Amino acid sequence: MLQAEKRSFLYFLATYILSSLILFFIGINFYYNLSRHNLLESKAFKLREEIFTFIETNRVGRFLKTGIKPNFQNKDIAIYKNGKFLIGTFKKDNLNFKKVYWLENGVLYYIYEKQRRDDLLYFVAKKDISKELYKIKEKVLLVTLIFILIVSVIAYILGKLFLKPLKKAFLLQEEFISDATHELNTPISNILINIELIKELYPELKNIEELTKIEASAKRVSKIFKNLSFLKLHKSYKKDIKKINTAKVLEDRVEFFNTLIKSKNLKVDMRLKRLTVDIDYEDLIKIVDNLLSNAIKYSPLNSTIYIAIEDRELCIKNIGEIKSEKMVKKKFFRENQNEGGFGIGLYIVDKIAKEYGFEFKIYQDKEFVSSSILF
């Protein structure tokens, strides 16, 4: 449940941030284009006014007759006659005289066309407006950064508000596990001890179905208890690392789970090569027990579990299906809500494997689910 709620919140947060950014960038793009357009219109109007003032204060016709140079008054203006450069403070080739104004490399050009008798005169004025354009971009960037900061703060606040009850629920779950671990210890031990005593004292009861079911249930609860204890006490547990024959441990644990295996009429196909691993015995037991019990739990009735050790790899396969390979190792995640357990078995296997530097994989292989540990 916690994983589902967390996932829902992340989807909501991603949608909120993405939609906010999309709307903002649409708005800021409109603002930038409008500001740029207004700047160009304003500067083009001023250039047009400069050209009119230049024409009024200078007798262009006299220049055409006498060649007396007009007074440009520090204005960037060029005169073209019938498309050819005549005079001016600058000369630009390949002018498109059909345009009224345009921007090129931060410089705004404006063309005013004037018919004089048989001649067509073009007055071209220019102005560098790169600084004004840069200021618009600077303003847009500043607004963008402020908006992203605001969205981030709101997302952080929403996250805190949403995760507060989620965190509380998680702590309650951890507290329950701690209390359950403490309470289960003695009764589970007593049940298992008394089952063994009954078998020794009354051999004729050894194969009675009811006793077999009690033993299977007790062993299942015992495994859950060990997993809960791992979560609670693992950090304080002092490891005793030594060389252990993994194949022998597997044979012993298959025998331990034999009652559960028989209850589902399962077959176990074991092909084990000797493999010695440097590991704490209890950690290896937890890896093997969780992989075995997982295979038993999710195997269909009357099917086969395949166990193999080869080339420093332990692989356990059973008929089944994985809906989410990414989530299956997560703490408290259960693919099948109808099955028992807390959803911590594969999480524990993954955690132990990472501590030792082992590679743990669980994946779909045609109709089989394969759990693999590379030691």
Instruction: Please state the domain extents for the chain.
Output: 2-128, 239-374
- Higher-confidence residue of 286 and 4: namely 286
- Higher-confidence residue of 186 and 273: namely 273
Give 188's DSSP letter: H
In CATH terms, is domain 239-374 a member of 3.30.565.10? yes
Is residue 339 packed enough to be buried (19+ CB in 10 Å), middle (13-18) or exposed (0-12)? exposed
Give 94's DSSP letter: S
Q: Is 336 helix (H, G, I), strand (E, B) or coil?
A: coil
pLDDT given for residue 60 in this prediction: 67
The yes-or-no verdict on residue 57 having pLDDT over 70 is yes
What's the average model confidence in pLDDT over 191-205?
A: 79
The yes-or-no verdict on residue 211 having pLDDT over 90 is no
Look at strands 304-310 and 267-272 and give their pairing: parallel
Lowest mean pLDDT among 31-35, 91-95, 308-312, 334-338: 334-338
Lowest mean pLDDT among 139-143, 170-174, 313-317: 170-174
The band of 128, judged by pLDDT with boundaries at 50, 70 and 90, is very high
pLDDT given for residue 339 in this prediction: 58
- Higher-confidence residue of 289 and 7: namely 289
Phi, psi of 245 (to 5 degrees): -80, 105
Distances (CA, A) of 192 to 67, 134, 223, 288, 341: 119, 80, 12, 20, 19
CA-based radius of gyration for the chain: 41
pLDDT given for residue 4 in this prediction: 61
pLDDT given for residue 70 in this prediction: 82
pLDDT given for residue 138 in this prediction: 94
The yes-or-no verdict on residue 353 having pLDDT over 50 is yes
Lowest mean pLDDT among 18-32, 95-109, 206-220: 206-220
Distances (CA, A) of 42 to 36, 250, 275: 10, 84, 83
Q: Is 274 helix (H, G, I), strand (E, B) or coil?
A: coil
Contact between residue 212 and residue 259 where contact means Cβ atoms under 8 Å apart? yes
Read off the amino acid at residue 119: D
Question: In terms of Cα–Cα distance, which of 63, 70, 61, 74 is closest to 126?
Answer: 74
The band of 233, judged by pLDDT with boundaries at 50, 70 and 90, is low
pLDDT given for residue 1 in this prediction: 47
- Higher-confidence residue of 175 and 157: namely 157
What's the average model confidence in pLDDT over 19-34?
A: 91
- Higher-confidence residue of 7 and 142: namely 142
pLDDT given for residue 39 in this prediction: 94
Phi, psi of 276 (to 5 degrees): -100, 130
Both tokens assigned to 183: 């309470």
Query: For the whole prediction, is pTM greater than 0.85?
Result: no
Cα–Cα distance measured from residue 135 to residue 361, given in angstroms and rounded to the nearest whole number: 55
- Higher-confidence residue of 130 and 174: namely 130
Q: Is 84 helix (H, G, I), strand (E, B) or coil?
A: strand
The yes-or-no verdict on residue 176 having pLDDT over 50 is yes
Q: Is 333 helix (H, G, I), strand (E, B) or coil?
A: coil
Q: How far apart are the first and last CA of the chain?
A: 33
Contact between residue 76 and residue 10 where contact means Cβ atoms under 8 Å apart? no
- Please identify which residue in the block is written with the tokens 């009119």: 52
Both tokens assigned to 19: 């939609």
Both tokens assigned to 131: 């600084």
Overall CATH class of domain 2-128: alpha beta
pLDDT in tens, 236-293: 567 889 999 999 999 988 988 888 898 899 999 999 999 999 999 888 988 998 899 8
Cα–Cα distance measured from residue 153 to residue 175, given in angstroms and rounded to the nearest whole number: 32
Output the average pLDDT for the chain. Answer: 84
pLDDT given for residue 262 in this prediction: 87
pLDDT given for residue 61 in this prediction: 65
pLDDT given for residue 124 in this prediction: 94
Cα–Cα distance measured from residue 81 to residue 119, given in angstroms and rounded to the nearest whole number: 7
Task: Output 159-164 pairs: Cβ under 8 A, ≥24 positions apart.
Answer: 159/9, 159/13, 162/9, 163/6, 163/9
Cα–Cα distance measured from residue 72 to residue 248, given in angstroms and rounded to the nearest whole number: 101
Question: Residues of the chain with pLDDT > 70: what percent?
Answer: 86
Assess whether the region 2-128 and the region 239-374 belong to the same CATH fold.
no
